[in-house]
Amino acid sequence: MKTALISVSDKSGLVEFAKGLEKLGWQLVSTGGTFKTLSEAGIKARQVSDLTGFPEILDGRVKTLHPIIHAGILALRKNPEHVKKLEELKIQAIDLVVVNLYPFKETIARPGVKIEEAIENIDIGGPTMIRAAAKNFEGCSAIVDPKDYKKVLEELNAKNNELSEETRKLLCAKAFQHTASYDSLISNYLHERFNPSELFPQDFSVTFSKVQECRYGENPHQKGALYKEAFQSGNSLLNFAQLHGKELSFNNFYDLNSAWNLCKEFSQPCAVIVKHTNPCGCAIAESISEAFAKAYGTDPLSAFGSIIALNRQVDEKTAGQIGSFFNEAIIAPSYSEKALEILKGKKNLRLIELNESSKASPLREFDFKKVDSGLLVQEKDSLQVSEKDLKFVSERKPSENEIQDLLFGWKIVKHVKSNAIVVVKNGQLLGTGAGQMSRVDSVKIAIEKAGDKAKGGVLASDAFFPFRDSLDLAFKAGITALIETGGSVKDNEVIQAANELKQALVFTGARHFKH
C-alpha cells in the first residue's frame, strides 16, 4: 500500500486531492488541522502520532521530527539494506509528502505583527520533510503547490500509482525552490528586525516568483520573463491586469515601469509618454485629457510606438486622442466602458490596468543592477524635494510660476538617463536630453527638442553644472531659470554666469543620477 503524508497550511484543493488518493488505495497520514479537515470530509486518515507512537508536543512545535517519519521518507527503495532496516524496525515507507508551510509571509504582511508571532510562524518540520522527500525523489515525491494536485492524480491514475521520472524530478526542483524562497524571506525579515543598523547583510538572498514569460527579451533572439518580489508596494507595476492586446515583451514591461514610476510622482492629473525608458512627453493639467494633449505635444514624432502612463481613469476623450496614433501600451488605474470600446479597436494595443493597493512592504525595498557574476544593490531613490528645500543662489529669485516649473522639471529629470536635462514650461515637458557622455550635449539636445517653445521655460539638470557653458546655451534659448544639484568646484563661476545673464539659479543639494 502506498502512503502519503499530508500536512498543509493552504488547504485549497486538499479534499479533492485526498479523495483521489483514497480512491487509488493510498494510506493517508496527516497532522493536526489537516487531519481534522480530512476527517470532517469523511476521508480516512491516520495521525502522525499513530505512526510514531509519540504525541505532538510543545504546542505542536514537535510532531513530524521523528526517525520513523524521516526514515520512511529517506530510505532508498533500491537499497536492500535500507529496505531491510525498515522491515526490522517496522517503519512504513512514505511515498508522497504533501506539505506547504506555515504562513510566515502572510503573517509578517499584517500591520503591527509582533516578532513573537512571526517566530511562531517559522515552519521547521515542514521544510525538513520537503527537503528529505526532494532529496529522495527517486522513491518519495514532494508536492508543495496545490496547483500540482490535478497533474499528479492524473498521472497516478494513468500509470498504476506511479509517477514518471520526469515528474518526480520536476517536483524535486520545485520543492527546493519553495524552501529556498521561504528561508530567504525569513532571513531578510529577521535581519531587519535583529540587525537594523546593517543595511546590507554579508550573505544577501532575495526571493522572486514568476509572473509570466515575455514574448522575448530585449531582442527577439533572447528569452525573457517577469518575476515579482514577495511583497509589492501599493503603486507597483506588478499589481497589474492586462485587459487587451498581445503578450507583453521584456522591453514593454521595462518601459511601463519607467512610465508609471514618473507618472506616480504627481498628485495632479498627469500623462507620461516614454520611449526607451526616457520620457518624450509629460504634462500635468486640470483633466487627464488635457494632460495627455500637452504630453503628446512635447514630441509627437518620438511618441510613435511609445508607452503611455496616466494616473487617472482613461475617459472617452482621452481614448480618442490616444487612438489617433500608433502606440504599444497604456497603463492606467482604470478605463471607462467607452474608452475600452475605442481602444480595443486596436488589435495589438496592450491595455494595462493597475490595481493599486495601500499595503506597504514589511521589508526594505532595494534597487538592483546586475553585473557579470555579481549584483549591485542600493536603496531606492525615493528622495523628494519641495520648495522649502530649495537654495536660491542667484541675485534674481525665481517667480512663483518658475518655482513650480522648476519642481516639476526636477521630478521628471529623476527619471531620465544621466546625463539628464529637461526643459519645461507651464507644467509641460518641452525637451529631453538623455544619456549623453557630456552634460552640455544633453543641454543642446533638450533645447533643440524644445525649439521655440523653450523661450520663457526653465531647465532642470540631474547633477551640477561643471562649467557655465550650459547656462549660456540656456540663455540663448530664452530659458529664464535653472535647477541643479550644486556642489561643483565651479559653483561660483556658474552663479556668476547666472547673475550676468539675469537668470534665476536654484540648488537642491541632491543628485538624481539614473544610470
| Active-site residue list | 135, 276
List CB contacts of 78: < 8 A, sequence separation 6 or more.
Answer: 138, 139
Using alpha carbons, select from 306, 248, 247, 313 the residue that is nearest to residue 281.
306
Q: What is the C-alpha separation between 369 and 366, in angstroms, rounded?
A: 10
- Answer whether the bond into residue 136 is a cis peptide, omega within 30°: no
- DSSP string of 365-423? -EEEEEETTEEEEEE-------GGG-EE-SSSPPPHHHHHHHHHHHHHHTTSPSS-EEE
Q: What is the C-alpha separation between 515 and 500, in angstroms, rounded?
A: 33
Radius of gyration of the chain (CA): 30
Residue type, 421: I
Q: Which helix (H) or strand (E) holds 43?
A: none
CA torsion 502-280-265-214 (nearest 10°) is: -160
Q: Which helix (H) or strand (E) holds 254?
A: helix 250-263
Q: What is the C-alpha separation between 437 and 467, in angstroms, rounded?
A: 15
> In Å, how far are 27, 369, 426, 429, 478 from 452, measured between CA atoms?
81, 38, 15, 13, 9
CB of 61 closer than 8 Å to CB of 40: no
Q: What is the C-alpha separation between 330 and 146, in angstroms, rounded?
A: 34
- Per DSSP, the three-state class of 271 is strand
Q: What is the C-alpha separation between 66 and 52, in angstroms, rounded?
A: 7
List CB contacts of 40: < 8 A, sequence separation 6 or more.
Answer: none
**CA 445, chain centre distance (Å):** 33
CA dihedral over 283, 287, 288, 294, signed as positive or negative:
negative
Q: What is the C-alpha separation between 312 and 295, in angstroms, rounded?
A: 14
- DSSP string of 306-330? EEEEESS-B-HHHHHHHTTS-EEEE
Q: What is the C-alpha separation between 356 and 334, in angstroms, rounded?
A: 10
CB of 477 closer than 8 Å to CB of 455: yes
Q: Which residue has the cell 514610476?
A: 261
- Per DSSP, the three-state class of 505 is strand
